[in-house]
Structure 1
């Protein structure tokens, strides 16, 4: 399955703000509420923190967006020297799971990926 949108940036925390802006713009186009967008931006920040913790300096930070009616699934990944899945008992993981649903992590082929989904409360209120 191909993503509906993709953002590729240098694997540096300075670029997380760019990723947050892109994410909020996509969510706004899907009619997410302001609260939903803030939750999504926080989730992206936390996912980025997890994948960038051990990122290789010359690697990339990538976000792939899979869009559906009232829902965004985002896969945030980075090139890492030692691809290990984050501790699910860690603080960052706990914050991430409180702001997003269906949170998963995978480590393979020198990349760490965190996948998360967020649904719009506006679309569930209309249903």
Structure 2
């Protein structure tokens, strides 16, 4: 687990932002680490208890989607970007089929309701990423 604080995006012209990256085995037994990190970082941004719990569940759900298709023995990566009053979380893992999760499922609907903005991408190496963006005070399903 590594934390890189005060990473400046000044080079990109976006000002200062903090981020934390957690890398762990792509196995369900380790998801409690990500739920704890999510809660701690959301609390740092003064999210309400309900917003924190929504994010914890959303991260868990996003990871569950990825773990179902993750390459056995691979690494799950979770990057938290703290920007102003918002938290952007990107969970990634190399997958066996290189397909993003279906957006017409109950799981995707729940994820969108809990996290606000949700997106999924896949790169040329079949690494699937699910990104969540939640703004403090946005309410359920608000970005």
Normalised to the residue count of structure 2, the TM-score between the two structures is: 0.80
Post-superposition CA distance 1:34-73 (Å, at most 9, x none):
1110010011011111111111121011101111111000
3-state SS in 2 of match to 1:27: helix
Map of 1:1-127 to 2, 5 A cutoff? 4-108=19-123, 109-121=125-137
Q: Gapped runs of 5+ residues in structure 2? A: 1-8, 10-16, 139-143
Residue-pair matches, total? 122
Q: Once superposed, which parts of structure 1, at least 4 consecutive aligned residues long, lie more than 3 Å away?
A: none
**Is contact 1:11-1:79 (8 Å) kept?**
no
Question: Which one has the bigger helix percentage?
Answer: 1
CA-based RMSD of the aligned residues comes to 1.6
How far apart are 1:3 and its partner, in Å? 6.7
How far apart are 1:114 and its partner, in Å? 0.2
Larger relative contact order, structure 1 or 2 (CA cutoff 8 Å, min sep 6): 1
Q: Gapped runs of 5+ residues in structure 1? A: 123-127
Normalised to the residue count of structure 1, the TM-score between the two structures is: 0.90
Q: Which one has a bigger Cα radius of gyration? A: 2
Post-superposition CA distance 1:85-116 (Å, at most 9, x none):
11101111111001112210011212110001
